[in-house]
Amino acid sequence: MLFLGIDFGTSGVRALAVDGDGRIRGQGRAALPEAVGEDGWREQDPALWLEALTQALAQLAAQVGAAWRQATALAIDGTSATLVPADARGRPLRPALMYHDQRARAEAQMLAGRFPGNGALAGASASLAKLLWLARHEPAMLAGLRHLHHQADWIAAQLTGCWGRSDPGNALKLGLDAASLRWPGAVTNLLEAAGIDPACLPRIVPSGEVFGALQPAWAEHLDLPAGLPVLGGTTDSLAALIAAGVRTPGQAASSLGSTLVLKLAAARPLDDLAAGIYSHRLGTLWLPGGASNAGGAALLRHFSPAEMEALTLQLRPERPTGRLCYPLPAAGERFPLNDPAFAGTPPPAAGPLTRFQALLEGLSYIEAWGYRRLAVDAPPQAVLTLGGGTRNAAWMQLRANVLGRPVLVPDCPEAALGAAMLAAVPQFGTLAAAQGALAQPCRRFEPEPWVVPPFQERLQAFIDRFAPAHR
Protein backbone atom coordinates (compact mmCIF):
# COMPACT_ATOMS: atom_id res chain seq x y z
CA MET A 1 0.00 0.00 0.00
CA LEU A 2 1.23 3.45 -0.87
CA PHE A 3 -0.80 6.58 -0.18
CA LEU A 4 0.04 9.89 -1.86
CA GLY A 5 -0.73 13.28 -0.34
CA ILE A 6 -0.28 16.56 -2.20
CA ASP A 7 -0.26 19.90 -0.39
CA PHE A 8 -0.58 23.23 -2.18
CA GLY A 9 0.64 26.06 0.02
CA THR A 10 1.51 29.71 -0.40
CA SER A 11 5.02 29.24 -1.74
CA GLY A 12 5.02 25.77 -3.24
CA VAL A 13 3.77 22.21 -3.60
CA ARG A 14 4.73 19.32 -1.35
CA ALA A 15 4.07 15.70 -2.26
CA LEU A 16 4.48 12.85 0.21
CA ALA A 17 4.20 9.06 0.03
CA VAL A 18 3.49 6.93 3.09
CA ASP A 19 3.00 3.16 3.20
CA GLY A 20 0.41 1.20 5.17
CA ASP A 21 2.76 0.86 8.15
CA GLY A 22 3.18 4.62 8.47
CA ARG A 23 6.68 4.78 6.94
CA ILE A 24 7.38 7.94 4.99
CA ARG A 25 8.74 6.66 1.66
CA GLY A 26 9.63 10.02 0.17
CA GLN A 27 8.83 13.70 -0.23
CA GLY A 28 8.90 15.94 -3.30
CA ARG A 29 8.77 19.72 -3.51
CA ALA A 30 8.35 22.37 -6.17
CA ALA A 31 8.26 26.13 -5.76
CA LEU A 32 5.42 28.40 -6.84
CA PRO A 33 5.99 32.04 -7.82
CA GLU A 34 4.56 34.71 -5.59
CA ALA A 35 0.96 35.63 -6.38
CA VAL A 36 0.88 38.92 -8.27
CA GLY A 37 -1.17 42.07 -7.81
CA GLU A 38 -1.24 45.47 -6.18
CA ASP A 39 -3.51 47.15 -3.63
CA GLY A 40 -4.51 43.87 -2.01
CA TRP A 41 -5.04 41.96 -5.27
CA ARG A 42 -3.43 38.53 -5.41
CA GLU A 43 -3.81 36.37 -8.53
CA GLN A 44 -2.11 33.28 -9.94
CA ASP A 45 -2.38 31.30 -13.16
CA PRO A 46 -3.66 27.79 -12.29
CA ALA A 47 -1.45 26.36 -15.03
CA LEU A 48 1.47 27.03 -12.67
CA TRP A 49 -0.08 24.63 -10.17
CA LEU A 50 -0.08 21.79 -12.69
CA GLU A 51 3.54 22.44 -13.60
CA ALA A 52 4.55 22.42 -9.94
CA LEU A 53 2.47 19.29 -9.31
CA THR A 54 4.28 17.46 -12.10
CA GLN A 55 7.68 18.51 -10.77
CA ALA A 56 6.92 17.52 -7.17
CA LEU A 57 5.52 14.12 -8.15
CA ALA A 58 8.46 13.38 -10.45
CA GLN A 59 10.83 14.11 -7.58
CA LEU A 60 8.76 11.92 -5.27
CA ALA A 61 8.59 9.05 -7.79
CA ALA A 62 12.39 9.02 -8.04
CA GLN A 63 12.62 8.54 -4.27
CA VAL A 64 9.91 5.87 -4.03
CA GLY A 65 11.30 3.74 -6.85
CA ALA A 66 9.57 0.57 -8.05
CA ALA A 67 6.68 0.88 -5.58
CA TRP A 68 5.52 4.07 -7.33
CA ARG A 69 3.47 2.15 -9.86
CA GLN A 70 1.67 0.35 -7.03
CA ALA A 71 0.24 3.54 -5.51
CA THR A 72 -3.11 2.89 -3.81
CA ALA A 73 -4.76 6.35 -3.84
CA LEU A 74 -4.03 10.06 -3.66
CA ALA A 75 -5.67 13.15 -2.18
CA ILE A 76 -4.98 16.87 -2.45
CA ASP A 77 -5.23 19.82 -0.09
CA GLY A 78 -4.97 23.46 -1.08
CA THR A 79 -5.20 27.02 0.14
CA SER A 80 -8.66 27.84 1.45
CA ALA A 81 -10.77 30.38 -0.46
CA THR A 82 -8.54 30.39 -3.55
CA LEU A 83 -11.27 30.70 -6.18
CA VAL A 84 -11.13 29.38 -9.77
CA PRO A 85 -14.14 30.29 -11.97
CA ALA A 86 -14.20 27.81 -14.88
CA ASP A 87 -16.14 27.01 -18.04
CA ALA A 88 -17.96 23.77 -18.86
CA ARG A 89 -14.66 22.00 -19.64
CA GLY A 90 -12.97 23.20 -16.47
CA ARG A 91 -10.83 25.83 -18.17
CA PRO A 92 -10.21 28.85 -15.94
CA LEU A 93 -12.01 31.96 -17.15
CA ARG A 94 -9.40 34.19 -15.52
CA PRO A 95 -6.46 33.85 -13.12
CA ALA A 96 -7.36 32.41 -9.73
CA LEU A 97 -8.18 34.86 -6.95
CA MET A 98 -5.85 33.72 -4.19
CA TYR A 99 -6.87 33.12 -0.60
CA HIS A 100 -5.33 36.40 0.59
CA ASP A 101 -6.83 38.58 -2.14
CA GLN A 102 -8.50 41.55 -0.44
CA ARG A 103 -10.32 43.35 -3.28
CA ALA A 104 -13.82 42.28 -2.18
CA ARG A 105 -14.06 44.50 0.91
CA ALA A 106 -17.40 46.06 -0.06
CA GLU A 107 -18.88 42.61 -0.77
CA ALA A 108 -17.56 41.38 2.58
CA GLN A 109 -19.35 44.19 4.38
CA MET A 110 -22.58 43.27 2.62
CA LEU A 111 -22.16 39.60 3.57
CA ALA A 112 -21.51 40.55 7.20
CA GLY A 113 -24.91 42.22 7.27
CA ARG A 114 -26.64 39.43 5.34
CA PHE A 115 -25.08 36.55 7.31
CA PRO A 116 -24.41 37.88 10.82
CA GLY A 117 -22.40 35.51 12.95
CA ASN A 118 -21.12 33.42 10.03
CA GLY A 119 -17.38 33.60 10.57
CA ALA A 120 -16.62 31.57 7.44
CA LEU A 121 -17.93 34.43 5.31
CA ALA A 122 -16.16 37.13 7.30
CA GLY A 123 -13.73 39.32 5.43
CA ALA A 124 -12.74 39.94 1.84
CA SER A 125 -10.83 36.65 1.68
CA ALA A 126 -14.08 34.60 1.63
CA SER A 127 -14.61 33.02 -1.77
CA LEU A 128 -18.27 34.10 -1.81
CA ALA A 129 -17.18 37.73 -1.46
CA LYS A 130 -14.69 37.24 -4.30
CA LEU A 131 -17.39 35.72 -6.51
CA LEU A 132 -19.72 38.65 -5.93
CA TRP A 133 -16.86 41.05 -6.73
CA LEU A 134 -16.34 39.26 -10.05
CA ALA A 135 -20.05 39.47 -10.84
CA ARG A 136 -19.98 43.23 -10.28
CA HIS A 137 -16.66 44.05 -11.95
CA GLU A 138 -16.30 41.35 -14.62
CA PRO A 139 -19.92 40.56 -15.61
CA ALA A 140 -18.96 39.35 -19.10
CA MET A 141 -17.25 36.37 -17.46
CA LEU A 142 -20.58 35.10 -16.13
CA ALA A 143 -21.73 34.03 -19.59
CA GLY A 144 -19.10 31.28 -19.64
CA LEU A 145 -19.20 30.38 -15.95
CA ARG A 146 -20.25 26.77 -15.34
CA HIS A 147 -18.12 25.62 -12.40
CA LEU A 148 -16.81 27.20 -9.24
CA HIS A 149 -13.70 25.50 -7.91
CA HIS A 150 -11.14 26.04 -5.23
CA GLN A 151 -7.49 25.19 -5.64
CA ALA A 152 -7.55 21.59 -4.36
CA ASP A 153 -10.71 20.51 -6.15
CA TRP A 154 -9.75 22.23 -9.43
CA ILE A 155 -6.54 20.19 -9.49
CA ALA A 156 -8.42 17.00 -8.56
CA ALA A 157 -10.89 17.74 -11.36
CA GLN A 158 -8.01 18.19 -13.82
CA LEU A 159 -6.67 14.76 -12.88
CA THR A 160 -10.04 13.01 -13.02
CA GLY A 161 -12.19 15.02 -15.42
CA CYS A 162 -14.85 15.27 -12.69
CA TRP A 163 -15.83 18.93 -12.78
CA GLY A 164 -18.16 20.70 -10.39
CA ARG A 165 -17.16 18.87 -7.20
CA SER A 166 -15.69 20.15 -3.96
CA ASP A 167 -15.11 19.09 -0.37
CA PRO A 168 -16.87 20.61 2.69
CA GLY A 169 -13.78 22.40 4.00
CA ASN A 170 -13.10 24.35 0.82
CA ALA A 171 -16.79 24.98 0.11
CA LEU A 172 -17.40 26.51 3.55
CA LYS A 173 -16.18 29.96 2.50
CA LEU A 174 -18.41 29.81 -0.55
CA GLY A 175 -21.44 29.66 1.73
CA LEU A 176 -21.98 25.93 2.31
CA ASP A 177 -23.97 25.03 5.43
CA ALA A 178 -21.55 22.82 7.38
CA ALA A 179 -24.26 21.02 9.35
CA SER A 180 -26.41 19.90 6.42
CA LEU A 181 -23.73 19.99 3.70
CA ARG A 182 -26.21 21.87 1.52
CA TRP A 183 -26.26 25.24 -0.17
CA PRO A 184 -28.63 27.50 1.81
CA GLY A 185 -31.45 29.23 -0.02
CA ALA A 186 -30.05 32.56 1.18
CA VAL A 187 -26.86 31.84 -0.78
CA THR A 188 -28.54 30.66 -3.97
CA ASN A 189 -30.93 33.62 -3.87
CA LEU A 190 -27.99 35.97 -3.45
CA LEU A 191 -26.25 34.47 -6.48
CA GLU A 192 -29.37 34.75 -8.63
CA ALA A 193 -29.75 38.40 -7.65
CA ALA A 194 -26.15 38.99 -8.78
CA GLY A 195 -26.76 37.30 -12.13
CA ILE A 196 -24.92 34.09 -11.20
CA ASP A 197 -26.50 30.72 -11.98
CA PRO A 198 -26.56 28.71 -8.71
CA ALA A 199 -26.02 25.57 -10.82
CA CYS A 200 -22.32 26.51 -10.88
CA LEU A 201 -22.07 25.68 -7.17
CA PRO A 202 -20.18 22.41 -6.72
CA ARG A 203 -21.55 19.07 -5.60
CA ILE A 204 -20.08 18.14 -2.22
CA VAL A 205 -17.79 15.11 -1.97
CA PRO A 206 -16.85 14.51 1.69
CA SER A 207 -13.14 14.47 2.44
CA GLY A 208 -11.80 10.93 2.14
CA GLU A 209 -14.56 9.72 -0.22
CA VAL A 210 -13.93 8.99 -3.90
CA PHE A 211 -13.75 12.17 -5.97
CA GLY A 212 -12.90 10.39 -9.22
CA ALA A 213 -10.36 8.19 -10.99
CA LEU A 214 -7.05 9.28 -12.53
CA GLN A 215 -7.49 9.76 -16.29
CA PRO A 216 -5.26 7.72 -18.62
CA ALA A 217 -3.47 10.78 -20.01
CA TRP A 218 -2.55 12.01 -16.55
CA ALA A 219 -1.63 8.48 -15.46
CA GLU A 220 0.85 8.26 -18.32
CA HIS A 221 2.16 11.77 -17.66
CA LEU A 222 2.74 11.06 -13.95
CA ASP A 223 3.69 7.37 -14.40
CA LEU A 224 0.88 6.30 -12.08
CA PRO A 225 -1.74 3.56 -12.53
CA ALA A 226 -4.70 4.56 -14.71
CA GLY A 227 -7.86 4.64 -12.65
CA LEU A 228 -5.97 5.42 -9.44
CA PRO A 229 -8.61 6.63 -6.95
CA VAL A 230 -8.46 10.35 -6.20
CA LEU A 231 -10.10 11.03 -2.85
CA GLY A 232 -11.93 14.15 -1.75
CA GLY A 233 -9.42 16.57 -0.28
CA THR A 234 -9.57 19.55 2.04
CA THR A 235 -7.97 22.87 2.88
CA ASP A 236 -4.29 23.14 3.74
CA SER A 237 -5.05 24.07 7.35
CA LEU A 238 -7.42 21.12 7.84
CA ALA A 239 -4.90 18.77 6.26
CA ALA A 240 -2.32 19.98 8.77
CA LEU A 241 -4.76 19.27 11.59
CA ILE A 242 -5.43 15.77 10.25
CA ALA A 243 -1.69 15.11 9.99
CA ALA A 244 -1.22 16.24 13.57
CA GLY A 245 -3.62 13.51 14.69
CA VAL A 246 -6.53 15.60 15.95
CA ARG A 247 -9.52 13.27 16.06
CA THR A 248 -11.26 13.72 19.44
CA PRO A 249 -12.79 16.75 21.23
CA GLY A 250 -10.30 18.79 23.25
CA GLN A 251 -7.37 18.22 20.91
CA ALA A 252 -5.81 21.34 19.42
CA ALA A 253 -3.53 21.99 16.46
CA SER A 254 -1.55 25.02 15.37
CA SER A 255 -0.07 25.48 11.91
CA LEU A 256 2.96 27.77 11.93
CA GLY A 257 3.52 28.90 8.37
CA SER A 258 3.33 32.25 6.63
CA THR A 259 0.24 32.74 8.79
CA LEU A 260 -0.87 31.26 12.10
CA VAL A 261 -3.86 28.88 11.90
CA LEU A 262 -5.50 27.40 15.01
CA LYS A 263 -8.11 24.65 15.36
CA LEU A 264 -9.61 23.19 18.55
CA ALA A 265 -11.72 20.06 18.15
CA ALA A 266 -15.11 20.18 19.88
CA ALA A 267 -18.45 18.39 20.01
CA ARG A 268 -20.32 21.50 18.86
CA PRO A 269 -19.62 24.45 16.57
CA LEU A 270 -18.55 27.96 17.51
CA ASP A 271 -18.98 30.97 15.24
CA ASP A 272 -18.02 34.51 16.20
CA LEU A 273 -17.90 36.91 13.28
CA ALA A 274 -16.42 39.71 15.38
CA ALA A 275 -13.44 37.53 16.31
CA GLY A 276 -12.98 35.85 12.93
CA ILE A 277 -14.00 32.44 14.31
CA TYR A 278 -15.85 29.84 12.26
CA SER A 279 -16.26 26.08 12.52
CA HIS A 280 -15.27 23.45 10.00
CA ARG A 281 -16.80 20.02 10.19
CA LEU A 282 -14.72 16.87 9.86
CA GLY A 283 -16.80 13.71 10.20
CA THR A 284 -18.57 13.93 13.57
CA LEU A 285 -16.15 16.55 14.90
CA TRP A 286 -16.58 20.30 14.86
CA LEU A 287 -13.41 22.32 14.45
CA PRO A 288 -13.76 25.89 15.68
CA GLY A 289 -10.80 27.79 14.36
CA GLY A 290 -9.31 31.01 13.21
CA ALA A 291 -6.44 32.26 11.10
CA SER A 292 -4.23 35.15 12.12
CA ASN A 293 -2.23 37.06 9.54
CA ALA A 294 0.64 36.93 12.04
CA GLY A 295 3.24 34.27 11.33
CA GLY A 296 6.40 33.67 9.38
CA ALA A 297 5.63 36.44 6.89
CA ALA A 298 5.60 38.94 9.77
CA LEU A 299 9.00 37.75 10.98
CA LEU A 300 10.47 38.19 7.50
CA ARG A 301 9.65 41.89 7.63
CA HIS A 302 12.36 42.28 10.24
CA PHE A 303 14.88 39.44 9.82
CA SER A 304 16.23 37.28 7.03
CA PRO A 305 16.11 33.48 7.41
CA ALA A 306 19.88 33.43 8.03
CA GLU A 307 19.59 36.10 10.74
CA MET A 308 16.78 34.20 12.45
CA GLU A 309 18.75 30.97 12.37
CA ALA A 310 21.72 32.64 14.05
CA LEU A 311 19.60 34.42 16.66
CA THR A 312 17.67 31.26 17.52
CA LEU A 313 20.79 29.82 19.14
CA GLN A 314 20.73 32.72 21.63
CA LEU A 315 17.01 32.71 22.53
CA ARG A 316 16.04 32.46 26.21
CA PRO A 317 12.59 30.84 26.21
CA GLU A 318 12.60 30.74 30.02
CA ARG A 319 12.99 34.53 30.35
CA PRO A 320 10.28 36.94 29.06
CA THR A 321 11.58 40.09 27.42
CA GLY A 322 8.74 42.12 28.95
CA ARG A 323 8.24 43.82 25.56
CA LEU A 324 4.83 43.54 23.90
CA CYS A 325 4.36 43.69 20.14
CA TYR A 326 1.73 42.42 17.71
CA PRO A 327 3.67 41.35 14.57
CA LEU A 328 1.80 41.56 11.26
CA PRO A 329 3.21 41.54 7.71
CA ALA A 330 0.86 44.34 6.61
CA ALA A 331 -2.33 46.08 7.65
CA GLY A 332 -5.21 43.73 8.32
CA GLU A 333 -5.90 41.08 10.96
CA ARG A 334 -8.49 38.28 11.01
CA PHE A 335 -8.15 36.49 14.35
CA PRO A 336 -8.21 36.64 17.39
CA LEU A 337 -9.38 40.13 16.51
CA ASN A 338 -10.94 40.88 13.16
CA ASP A 339 -9.97 44.31 11.85
CA PRO A 340 -8.90 44.96 8.23
CA ALA A 341 -7.29 48.27 9.26
CA PHE A 342 -5.24 47.00 12.22
CA ALA A 343 -1.53 47.18 11.33
CA GLY A 344 -0.14 45.55 14.46
CA THR A 345 2.79 47.04 16.37
CA PRO A 346 6.53 46.80 15.66
CA PRO A 347 9.10 45.05 17.83
CA PRO A 348 10.85 47.17 20.47
CA ALA A 349 13.74 49.47 19.64
CA ALA A 350 16.35 47.17 21.11
CA GLY A 351 19.14 44.84 20.07
CA PRO A 352 18.46 42.14 17.45
CA LEU A 353 18.10 39.31 19.97
CA THR A 354 15.54 41.16 22.12
CA ARG A 355 13.60 42.26 19.04
CA PHE A 356 13.56 38.72 17.64
CA GLN A 357 12.45 37.12 20.90
CA ALA A 358 9.80 39.83 21.38
CA LEU A 359 8.41 38.98 17.93
CA LEU A 360 8.26 35.27 18.80
CA GLU A 361 6.62 36.09 22.12
CA GLY A 362 4.07 38.24 20.29
CA LEU A 363 3.19 35.35 17.98
CA SER A 364 2.91 33.05 21.02
CA TYR A 365 0.62 35.50 22.83
CA ILE A 366 -1.61 35.71 19.75
CA GLU A 367 -1.79 31.90 19.71
CA ALA A 368 -2.61 31.63 23.42
CA TRP A 369 -5.24 34.37 23.13
CA GLY A 370 -6.69 32.55 20.14
CA TYR A 371 -7.13 29.33 22.08
CA ARG A 372 -8.88 31.20 24.86
CA ARG A 373 -11.39 32.43 22.29
CA LEU A 374 -11.82 28.99 20.70
CA ALA A 375 -12.48 27.05 23.91
CA VAL A 376 -16.11 25.95 23.53
CA ASP A 377 -16.04 23.69 26.58
CA ALA A 378 -12.48 23.65 27.94
CA PRO A 379 -8.98 24.78 26.92
CA PRO A 380 -6.74 22.30 25.10
CA GLN A 381 -4.73 19.83 27.10
CA ALA A 382 -1.86 19.89 24.61
CA VAL A 383 -1.19 21.63 21.30
CA LEU A 384 -0.09 19.62 18.28
CA THR A 385 1.96 21.74 15.90
CA LEU A 386 2.80 21.66 12.21
CA GLY A 387 4.46 23.98 9.72
CA GLY A 388 7.86 25.45 9.04
CA GLY A 389 8.03 27.16 12.44
CA THR A 390 8.41 23.80 14.16
CA ARG A 391 12.08 23.71 13.11
CA ASN A 392 12.80 26.33 15.77
CA ALA A 393 13.04 24.26 18.97
CA ALA A 394 13.57 27.32 21.17
CA TRP A 395 10.31 28.82 19.90
CA MET A 396 8.51 25.54 20.60
CA GLN A 397 9.71 25.73 24.22
CA LEU A 398 8.71 29.38 24.40
CA ARG A 399 5.21 28.47 23.13
CA ALA A 400 4.88 25.73 25.75
CA ASN A 401 5.76 28.25 28.45
CA VAL A 402 3.28 30.84 27.16
CA LEU A 403 0.49 28.32 26.56
CA GLY A 404 1.15 26.59 29.86
CA ARG A 405 0.57 23.25 28.08
CA PRO A 406 2.70 20.67 26.29
CA VAL A 407 3.56 21.36 22.67
CA LEU A 408 3.79 18.26 20.48
CA VAL A 409 5.64 18.35 17.16
CA PRO A 410 5.25 15.35 14.83
CA ASP A 411 8.46 14.16 13.22
CA CYS A 412 6.77 14.77 9.87
CA PRO A 413 5.11 18.20 10.24
CA GLU A 414 3.61 18.29 6.74
CA ALA A 415 0.04 18.99 5.64
CA ALA A 416 0.75 16.59 2.75
CA LEU A 417 0.70 13.78 5.34
CA GLY A 418 -2.86 14.80 6.23
CA ALA A 419 -3.81 14.55 2.56
CA ALA A 420 -2.20 11.11 2.43
CA MET A 421 -4.28 10.08 5.45
CA LEU A 422 -7.40 11.11 3.52
CA ALA A 423 -6.21 8.95 0.64
CA ALA A 424 -6.00 6.03 3.09
CA VAL A 425 -9.56 6.33 4.42
CA PRO A 426 -11.09 3.65 2.13
CA GLN A 427 -8.33 1.23 3.09
CA PHE A 428 -8.71 1.70 6.87
CA GLY A 429 -12.45 2.39 7.01
CA THR A 430 -12.48 5.72 8.83
CA LEU A 431 -10.32 8.82 8.97
CA ALA A 432 -9.57 8.22 12.66
CA ALA A 433 -8.35 4.71 11.84
CA ALA A 434 -6.17 6.04 9.01
CA GLN A 435 -4.73 8.68 11.34
CA GLY A 436 -3.93 6.04 13.93
CA ALA A 437 -2.27 3.71 11.41
CA LEU A 438 -0.16 6.40 9.74
CA ALA A 439 0.65 8.54 12.82
CA GLN A 440 4.21 9.78 13.16
CA PRO A 441 6.28 10.06 16.37
CA CYS A 442 6.24 13.43 18.15
CA ARG A 443 8.78 15.57 19.96
CA ARG A 444 7.34 16.88 23.22
CA PHE A 445 8.04 20.28 24.80
CA GLU A 446 6.81 20.57 28.38
CA PRO A 447 6.06 23.95 30.01
CA GLU A 448 8.62 24.90 32.66
CA PRO A 449 6.52 25.42 35.84
CA TRP A 450 8.62 28.24 37.29
CA VAL A 451 8.37 30.21 34.01
CA VAL A 452 4.65 29.84 33.26
CA PRO A 453 3.35 32.44 35.82
CA PRO A 454 5.41 35.39 34.49
CA PHE A 455 4.45 34.49 30.92
CA GLN A 456 0.79 34.29 31.94
CA GLU A 457 1.07 37.80 33.37
CA ARG A 458 2.55 39.05 30.11
CA LEU A 459 -0.17 37.25 28.14
CA GLN A 460 -2.88 39.01 30.12
CA ALA A 461 -1.11 42.34 29.60
CA PHE A 462 -1.00 41.59 25.87
CA ILE A 463 -4.74 40.88 25.74
CA ASP A 464 -5.55 43.94 27.83
CA ARG A 465 -3.49 46.12 25.50
CA PHE A 466 -4.88 44.93 22.17
CA ALA A 467 -8.40 43.73 22.97
CA PRO A 468 -10.23 46.84 24.27
CA ALA A 469 -10.44 48.64 20.93
CA HIS A 470 -11.93 45.56 19.30
CA ARG A 471 -14.54 44.44 21.79
Domains in the chain, CATH or no CATH each: 246-470 (3.30.420.40)
Enumerate residues 6+ apart whose C-beta is below 8 A from 90: 147, 149, 154, 157, 158, 161, 163
pLDDT tens by residue, 434-455: 999 999 899 999 999 999 999 9
The more confidently predicted of residues 95 and 285 is 95
pLDDT tens by residue, 248-307: 888 999 988 888 989 999 988 887 777 778 888 887 889 898 889 999 999 999 999 999
pLDDT of residue 468 exceeding 80: no
Q: What mean pLDDT comes out for the span 223-229? A: 97
Q: What mean pLDDT comes out for the span 40-61? A: 96
pLDDT of residue 77 exceeding 60: yes
pLDDT of residue 469 exceeding 60: no
pLDDT of residue 228 exceeding 80: yes
Distance between CA 364 and CA 403 in Å, rounded? 8
pLDDT of residue 150 exceeding 70: yes
pLDDT of residue 152 exceeding 60: yes
pLDDT tens by residue, 399-439: 999 999 999 998 887 889 999 999 999 999 999 999 999 99
Distance between CA 376 and CA 250 in Å, rounded? 9
pLDDT of 214 reads 98
pLDDT of 470 reads 52
Enumerate residues 6+ apart whose C-beta is below 8 A from 184: 175, 177
pLDDT tens by residue, 170-222: 999 999 998 899 999 999 999 999 999 999 999 999 999 999 999 999 999 99
Provide φ and ψ at 352, rounded to 5°.
-55, -40
Enumerate residues 6+ apart whose C-beta is below 8 A from 182: 176
- Chain centroid to Cα 315, Å, comes to 28
pLDDT of 445 reads 97
As a whole number, the mean pLDDT across the chain is 93
